[in-house]
Amino acid sequence: MRNLLSGSVLFVEKGKGGDALKKFRKHLKRKAHQIKGVAMDSTFAHTAFLFWCEKSQSFGLSCLKRMTKTIKKHLEGILGYWKHSSLTNARQERFKNKVSWLTRQAYDYRDEEYLHLKIYDLPHLTRKRDL
């Protein structure tokens, strides 16, 4: 398998081809994650992602084609990270997961008002046993 940028050989594995493929996919994922650390603005990130997609498609692997298709489909949302000062929705997702966990546990609560109070108190709780 070859390096995306230089064309040099990355992996020459003996034995099962699946092992080499797993390492190669891991390498490509690392390269995609490196774009986040290197790109300073959305224009550079856009160019880097398109270059990555072009190179990964050239290998002809179905898993990479699916990944490339997904990246291209969501590219505007991905670029929003650079357009909006590295803003993500991770905190909102974490809070949503806490609320959904709490509502699954709410079968023990006697009234709905107590559930609402627990939801309002979620940001202040740090440990699961506090819930």
Are both 77 and 103 inside the same structural domain?
A: no
> What are residue 51's DSSP bridge partners?
none
pLDDT in tens, 47-88: 999 998 888 888 777 877 888 899 899 999 888 888 888 778
43, part of any domain: yes
Residue 130 CA to residue 124 CA, distance in Å, equals: 10
pLDDT tens, residue by residue, 21-43:
677 777 777 887 888 888 888 89
Based on the domain organization, do 59 and 114 belong to the same domain?
Answer: no
- Predicted model pTM: 0.56
DSSP output for 56-90: HHTT--HHHHHHHHHHHHTHHHHHHHHHTTT--SH
Looking at the structure, do residues 26 and 79 belong to the same domain, yes or no? Answer: yes
72 shares a domain with 28? yes
Query: If 0-12 CB within 10 Å is exposed, 13-18 middle and 19+ buried, where does residue 53 land?
Result: buried
Distances (CA, A) of 79 to 56, 75, 104: 19, 6, 35
Number of domains making up the chain:
2
Place of tokens 């498609």: 57
Structural domain for 43, as ranges: 17-83
Domain membership flag for residue 30: yes
